[in-house]
Structure 1
Amino acid sequence: MQVRTRHTPAFAVARLVLAPGETVQAEYTAMVATSYGVLVDSGRGRGRSRPAVFTAPAEGGWVDIAPALPGDAHVLELDGVTGWCVARGARLALPATLRAEPGWPGFHPLFGVEHGFLEHVSGVGVTVLACCGALDTLTLDPGEAITVEPAHLLAYTDSTQVRLRAVDPSGPQSLRTGSGLLLDLAGPGQVLVQTRRPRPPVGA
Structure 2
Amino acid sequence: MEFQIRHAPVFTVVEFQLNESEEVVAQPNSMISFTPGIHISAAIGQTQGEGSWFAGFKSLLGGESFFRAVFRAKRDAQTLLLAPDNNGDILPIELNASETWYLSRGSYLAHIGDCRLDARYGGVKGVLSKTGLFLLHVSGVGTLFCQTYGAIMERELGEGEQFLIDNRYVVAFSGTVEYELVKASRSLRHSFMSGEGMVNRYTGPGRVYYQTRAKPSLGFFGLLLNAMT
TM score, norm. by length of structure 1: 0.80
CA 1:96–1:110 in 2, change beyond 3 Å: closer, same or farther?
farther
Match of 1:124, as an amino acid?
V
Map 1:92-131; keep pairs closer than 5 Å.
92-103=109-120, 107=122, 116-131=133-148
Whether the aligned pair in 2 keeps the contact of 1:21 and 1:60 (CA below 8 Å) is no
Structure 1 residue 16 corresponds to structure 2 residue 16? yes
Check 1:22–1:108 CA distance in 2 against 1; reply closer, same or farther (3 A cut): farther
Note if contact 1:135-1:194 (Cα within 8 Å) is conserved in structure 2: yes
Judging changes above 3 Å, is the alpha-carbon distance between structure 1 residues 139 and 126 closer, same or farther for their aligned structure 2 residues? same
Q: Does 2:158 correspond to 1:141? A: yes
Moved more, 158-167 or 83-92: 158-167
2:205 is aligned with 1:194: no
Which structure is higher in strand share?
A: 1
Q: 8 Å contact 2:113–2:141 — kept in the other structure?
A: no
- State the TM-score, normalizing by the size of structure 2: 0.72
Letter in 2 for 1:37: G
1:152 aligns to 2:169 (yes or no): yes
Share of identical aligned residues, percent?
28
Query: Cα gap change, 1:42/1:166 in structure 2, threshold over 3 Å: closer, same or farther?
Result: farther
Cα deviation 1:92-131 (Å, max 9, x = unaligned): 1122411111137xx56966xxx73521111111111112
Contact 2:94 2:144 in 1 (8 A): yes
3-state DSSP class of the match of 1:70?
A: coil
Structural RMSD (CA) = 2.9
Q: 1-side partners of 2:142 and 2:40: how far apart?
A: 21
1:38 aligns with 2:38: yes
Residue of structure 1 in register with 2:63 after alignment = none
Contact 2:18–2:76, Cα closer than 8 Å, also in 1? no
Runs of 5+ unmatched residues, structure 2: 45-52, 57-65, 127-131, 189-196, 221-229
**Residues 1:83 and 2:100 are matched in the alignment:** yes
Equivalent position of 1:176 in the other structure: none
Q: Distance in 1 between matches of 2:162 and 2:105?
A: 23
Tell me if structure 2 keeps the 8 A contact 1:22–1:60. Answer: no
Distance 1:119 1:110 in 2: 15
Q: CA deviation at 1:90?
A: 1.2
CA distance in 2, matches of 1:23, 1:109: 37
Q: Secondary structure at the match of 2:168?
A: helix
Runs ≥4 in structure 1, deviation > 4 angstroms? 107-111, 165-169
Aligned residues: 187
Cα shift at 1:63: 1.6
Cα deviation, residue 164, structure 1: 2.6
Q: Is contact 2:123-2:134 (8 Å) kept?
A: no
CA deviation map 1:149-184 (0-9, x unaligned): 221001011111111347799xxxxxxxxxx75211
- Using the TM superposition, give the Cα deviation of residue 81 of structure 1 relative to its aligned residue in structure 2, in angstroms: 1.0
Deviation per CA, 1:21-64: give whole Å up to 9, x if none. Answer: 122211121110112121112459xx984011111113252321
The match for 1:67 among 63, 69, 84 is: 84
